[in-house]
Each structure stands twice: as structure tokens, then as C-alpha cells.
């Protein structure tokens, strides 16, 4: 069993643990429900240790469902960054942006 936490922070979510097929649908539903919000929807990934293709798919599906929204993935690092780079989602949709960051990671 994987651990995953998704905490709302007023303008998006703070993710921690592992975003995978066990919880991707729940995250997709929450992110899609958040869109559109005034300003960008931010997804803080500093504490996310792992993401698989179902997590990537959840992000992409939410971005496609809210074409007028802006989604910013920030704090992308290590294995999460490698998966995002391998899938090429940064720049794939005009409303999805990826910002790598190492500040504040534990």
C-alpha cells in the first residue's frame, strides 16, 4: 500500500508520498473540481516521492478538462522530475507549466 496525501492550500494542493494508480483518480477528480479558479492552480510537489503514468495521466486529463485554467506544477525534483521529463508533459499543453525546484525539500 502506498501513502499519498493531498492537502488543499487555498490555490491548489500540496502533495506528498506517492501518486500512482491507487490514488490518481481521486487526485484527478479533486484537481478537475478546483478548475477554473482565479489565477493559477498550483500543485506543490516538493514532498512527492514518486509519480507513475497514471499520476501523469490524471494531471493531463485535468488540464484538458479545464483549458481556460492555468496549472503550475512546482517543486518538481528527483524521480518525479525524471518521469515528467521522460513523458514530455512540460510544454505539451498551453495551460500546464512545470517548475523544477529543490528549495525546501526534505
Q: What are phi and psi of 74, to 5 degrees?
A: -130, 160
Stretch 98-104: mean pLDDT, rounded? 75
Q: What's this model's pTM, rounded to 2 decimal places?
A: 0.90
Residues 64-93 pLDDT 10s: 998 899 999 999 999 999 999 999 999 899
CATH architecture of 4-100: 2-Layer Sandwich (3.30)
CB-based burial label for 20 (10 Å; 0-12, 13-18, 19+): middle
Amino acid at each position: 500500500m502506498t501513502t499519498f496525501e493531498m492537502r488543499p492550500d487555498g490555490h491548489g494542493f500540496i502533495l506528498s508520498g506517492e501518486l500512482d494508480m491507487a490514488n490518481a483518480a481521486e487526485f484527478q477528480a479533486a484537481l478537475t473540481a478546483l478548475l477554473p479558479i482565479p489565477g493559477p492552480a498550483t500543485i506543490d510537489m516538493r514532498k512527492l516521492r514518486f509519480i507513475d503514468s497514471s499520476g501523469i495521466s490524471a494531471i493531463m486529463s485535468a488540464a484538458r478538462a479545464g483549458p481556460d485554467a492555468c496549472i503550475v506544477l512546482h517543486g518538481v525534483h528527483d524521480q518525479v522530475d525524471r518521469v515528467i521529463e521522460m513523458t514530455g508533459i512540460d510544454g505539451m499543453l498551453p495551460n500546464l507549466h512545470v517548475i523544477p525546484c529543490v528549495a525546501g525539500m526534505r
